[in-house]
Structure 1
Amino acid sequence: MLEIAFYIAVTAEAMTAALAAGRRKMDWFGVCLLACVTALGGGTIRDIFLAHYPLFWVKNPYVLLLVCGAALLTIAIARVVHRLHWPFLLLDALGLVVFTIVGCNIGLEMGVHPIIVLVAGMVTGIFGGVLRDVLCNDVPLVFRAELYASVSIVTGALYYFGLMAGLHADLVVPGAIAIGFLLRVLAIVNKWEMPKFVYDRDLR
């Protein structure tokens, strides 16, 4: 189940990145590159800082074909995809929690400290979007919109501590996904945000 959800999430992230590239009038190479950065960037950064080699998309290069194929498909059906705002928000929420659990799994396999397990999950979940927004010259969504990184941390914590409590993975995985997904959707609907730091004093 987790693997299927992972590929669905990768495809959705690639398609939303392709739309972002289209809004900035990028060429087809730029569309595919931005899709790869968005869909695979978080896992790549995680693998680099954990020294987890080969990188997951190097080990399975067909993921690159999936991402680029989804991006090019989006070019062809952009007018249809553009109307599917809520479905893609829901798929993005699913991607966030699924990527987080996948990242936590890598941390567990590497035997790192529990804090780093949670960081690995969060990095996997959010950093593709951060890189996308930076390349598009935007303030990353995770720093300015509804609860996002916090949802990733909560999901990772539920997953990790559920396993540490001796619960079976078949129970912990869907439970963490369901709670994290629901929390993200509620944050979108109710516009729950982290407190913001506003400093506009004129020092001149």
Structure 2
Amino acid sequence: MFLHSLYLIAIIVEAITAALAAGRRNMDWVGVCTLGCVTALGGGSVRDVLLGNHPLAWVEHPFYLLITGGTALLTIFISRFLHHLRKLFLFLDAVGLVVFTLIGCNVAITLTMPFIIIIASGMITGCVGGVLRDILCADIPLLFRQELYAVVSALTGLIYTVGLCAGLNNELMMTLAMSSGLALRLMALRFGWGMPKFIYTKNLH
């Protein structure tokens, strides 16, 4: 129940950030609504398609579409006030990343997938929604621009899955994994930590 409540908060935050991204690209209301739904629900949908897990979450629970689409449209009317809440959104986005990751790992565990697929499932759930958003906005995805995002997701999933494999308590490992992932993401934001960049400027001709 607690994880599901965090999930609802996470998809609402993702829908808002997607709507703001749509506004920066001057999209119409249909674009805003679509981008909000794709960003919030896309990671889980891609995961379920790849794992053959049906029905998709938003097909089984259509109100997820109402929540994300409605939130995206509401953002149009309250956008002028949201810049004051930037730090809060960064925090909630970090919470969403670790929550999505754990949910993805749990889906793969339920399907008795191999260890590496469990980690990948968590990363897909946590990261792919943002990648789809950036692609639809014609941006280089945040995931590929030095940010410690996929690394945080991988670490969160790794801690959780290794703990479960070792026979430790599920609630304990969930708390530990979320706390570790959240702490790393927030420290990365605070201190500007990132992955090394590959810069190649040589002309082959």
TM-based fold match above 0.5? yes
1:101-153 Cα shifts (integer Å, max 9, x gaps): 00000000111110000000000000000000001000000110321000000
1:48-63 alignment, distance < 5 Å: 48-63=49-64
Q: What is the letter of the counterpart of residue 106 of structure 2?
A: N
Please say if residues 25 and 137 of structure 2, whose CA atoms lie closer than 8 Å, have aligned partners that are also in contact. Answer: yes
Please say if residues 97 and 127 of structure 2, whose CA atoms lie closer than 8 Å, have aligned partners that are also in contact. Answer: yes
Q: What is the letter of the counterpart of residue 38 of structure 1?
A: T
Q: What is the letter of the counterpart of residue 158 of structure 1?
A: I
Report which stretch shifted further, 114-123 or 75-84. 75-84
Q: What is the letter of the counterpart of residue 119 of structure 2?
A: L
1:1-204 alignment, distance < 5 Å: 1-204=2-205
Please say if residues 148 and 194 of structure 2, whose CA atoms lie closer than 8 Å, have aligned partners that are also in contact. Answer: yes
RMSD (Å), alpha carbons: 0.8
Give, in angstroms, the shift of residue 16 of structure 1. 0.4
Distance, in Å, in 2 between the alignment partners of 1:145 and 1:134 is: 17
Give, in angstroms, the shift of residue 83 of structure 1. 2.6
Q: What is the letter of the counterpart of residue 155 of structure 1?
A: T
Please say if residues 12 and 40 of structure 2, whose CA atoms lie closer than 8 Å, have aligned partners that are also in contact. Answer: yes
Q: What is the letter of the counterpart of residue 69 of structure 1?
A: G
Distance, in Å, in 1 between the alignment partners of 2:69 and 2:146 is: 27
Q: So what's the TM-score if we normalise by structure 2?
A: 0.97
Distance, in Å, in 2 between the alignment partners of 1:191 and 1:95 is: 20
Identity over aligned pairs, percent: 53
Unaligned 5+ segments in structure 1 are none
Distance, in Å, in 1 between the alignment partners of 2:168 and 2:6 is: 21
1:163-187 Cα shifts (integer Å, max 9, x gaps): 1122211211121111100100011
Q: So what's the TM-score if we normalise by structure 1?
A: 0.98
Report which stretch shifted further, 30-39 or 160-169. 160-169
Greater than 6 Å deviation, 4+ residue runs: none
Unaligned 5+ segments in structure 2 are none
